[in-house]
Amino acid sequence: LPDLADAVGSPNLLTDPDVVAGYCVDWTGRFHGGAAAVVRPASTDEVAAVVAACRRHGLALVPQGGNTGLVGGSVPGEGAVVLATTRLTAPADVDAAGGQATVRAGTTVAALHAAATAAGWDYGVDFAARDSATVGGTIATNAGGVRVLRHGDTRAQVLGVEAVLGDGSVVSHLGGLLKDNTGYHLPSLLCGSEGTLGVVTAARVRLVAAAPARAVALLGFAAMEDAVTAALALHRDLPVLDAAELMTGAGIDLVCRVLDLAPPFAARHAAVLLVEAAATGDPTAVLAEAVSGVEGVVDAAVATDGPRRAALWRYRESHTEAINHLGPPHKLDVTLPSAALAPFLAEVPAVVRRVVPGADVWLFGHAADGNIHVNVTGVAPDDEAADDAVLDLVAAHGGSISAEHGIGRAKVRWLHLNRSAAEIAAFRAIKRALDPDGILNPGVLLPEG
């Protein structure tokens, strides 16, 4: 503790058990830990001093940003030290001419959006946890979100990173050159590394062109298959498509019940697709024309002004919160090849109920990029029968067991479904090289051993 206090200053070393407890549970309440202390460094040098102290004392170190991760990766194991990035913030340094920004790791995604917008640009990654999730956390998880179909995932935005690696060395490459073939691409490696290789302290990100004129349509379908086909067709045919989000009638009912909202349509529909078009000029006509060519639409609600667009988005963005009201869910965040998406959605509820008859299955997600969130409620936190069944089905269809949330603690047991022994051995070699003492986030991403 004295070494950690030297590293960050006593006021930024937290040891009061009641305070520390707040850092030891995840957003869903499913994963719990027990840290020895929390440190809140304010600079890269302080992060390096914390890493050095943890190496000296053989302490596990768990980076934590907004703690909105959904796979238990930011939850410390017993006796670990949490490195909270709360104080690694500063106003984003925006290069308005070049369309890039240098941003510190503790900055929220919402703050980065605000800085980009103020400079006439936008940031390409967005999702419901934007007010809490941090740039460092989104890099560590390679976050996806609702705009991947247009702008790609976080990895596609990151041009350079600064990080303190597990061996204590600082790597910093924030020049933002668009063409720079000078060896291994460390930003790509750190994207999705889930705090196991280094603590990200800053990043250089690309910004995307602002598209302030927006139109949102909520489309009702009688069959899930029609909604999936529509999402893929709109992705192909509508260049200004910014989001295509799939929901079920049951999911919308739950959101309306928990949040006390009026339903979006007079009738209930088996599947609902939210589509958003964004451009510099009003995209309503082009969206309406594209939707008129889509088969199977039985109902539609359209919004162009900000408050009504937000009201339609609320049905989609409140799913995670509404489901949490039913108790800690099992979250399966999967991608399917496009041809397998509709068959998977049709099969998965019965597959879950075969192993856990009383379970409820909630399906929603980013349909156009094949990413579906399968949430299962009514199952004990440590009963993994439903997880097994869903992830085996995903693997049988050639999908991924983690589309955008990462492996964390929750999915380690199933990594082998997507990664060969040779790939896992390569992962371990990288881990040993950058974090020789294994202090960074042990138990996350890689199977022990």
Contact status: 320 vs ligand FAD (CB under 6 A): yes
- Of 108 and 375, the one with the shorter C-beta distance to ligand 2HG is 375
Nearest distance in Å: CB 1, ligand FAD: 21
What residues numbered 136-175 form the site for ligand 2HG, per CB under 6 A?
Answer: none
Give the tokens for residue 274: 């939210």
For ligand 2HG, which residue of 44, 375, 402, 441 counts as binding (CB under 6 A)?
A: 375
Cα 381 from Cα 376, distance rounded (Å): 10
Interaction partner, residue 157 (ligand FAD, ligand 2HG, none; CB < 5-8 Å by kind): none
Measured distance CA(11)–CA(281) in Å, rounded: 51
Token digits of residue 382: 């440590």
Q: Which two tokens stand for residue 73?
A: 């990766």
Structure-block tokens of residue 392: 């085996």
- 33 near ligand FAD, rule: CB under 6 A: no
Nearest Cα neighbor of 159 from 199, 92, 207 is 207
Asked if 353 and 359 count as a contact pair (C-beta separation under 8 A), the reply is: yes
User: How far apart are CB 268 and ligand 2HG at their closest, in Å?
Assistant: 21
How big is the site for ligand 2HG, counted in residues (CB under 6 A)? 10
Q: Which residue has the tokens 């602002």?
A: 210
Question: Going edge to edge, which strands form the sheet with 37-39?
Answer: 13-14, 37-39, 81-84, 61-64
Task: Give residue 27's Cα distance to chain centre.
Answer: 13
Q: Does 27 bind ligand FAD (CB under 6 A)?
A: yes
Q: Does 330 bind ligand 2HG (CB under 6 A)?
A: no
Question: Is position 331 an interface residue for ligand 2HG (rule: CB under 6 A)?
Answer: yes
- Helical H segments across 302-410, by residue range: 306-317, 319-324, 338-355, 385-396
- CA–CA distance, 328 with 376 (Å, rounded to integer): 9
Closest CA to 261 of 252, 270, 269: 252
CA of residue 171 relative to chain centroid, distance: 24
Query: Could you give the CA distance from residue 11 to residue 3 in angstroms, rounded to a whole number?
Result: 13
| Residue (114 or 385) nearer to ligand FAD, CB | 114
Q: How far is the CB of 440 from ligand FAD (least distance, A)?
A: 8
Question: Which one of ligand FAD, ligand 2HG, none is in contact with 331 (Cβ closer than 5 to 8 A by kind)?
Answer: ligand 2HG
Closer of 54 and 272 to ligand 2HG (Cβ) = 272
**φ/ψ of residue 362, rounded to 5:** -115, 125
Phi, psi of 40 (to 5 degrees): -130, 75
Among 33, 69, 124, 399, binds ligand FAD (CB under 6 A): 69
128 binds ligand 2HG (CB under 6 A): yes
- Binding piece for ligand FAD, criterion CB under 6 A, among 36-44, 57-65, 113-121, 420-428: 57-65
What does the per-residue mask of binding to ligand FAD show for 395-414, with x meaning CB under 6 A?
A: ---------xx---------
- Is 70 an interacting residue with respect to ligand FAD (CB under 6 A)? yes
The site for ligand 2HG (CB under 6 A) is made up of 70, 127-128, 319-320, 331, 333, 365, 373, 375
The site for ligand FAD (CB under 6 A) is made up of 27, 62-70, 73-74, 85, 105, 127-129, 132-134, 136-138, 140-141, 143-145, 194-195, 199-200, 320, 404-405, 441, 444
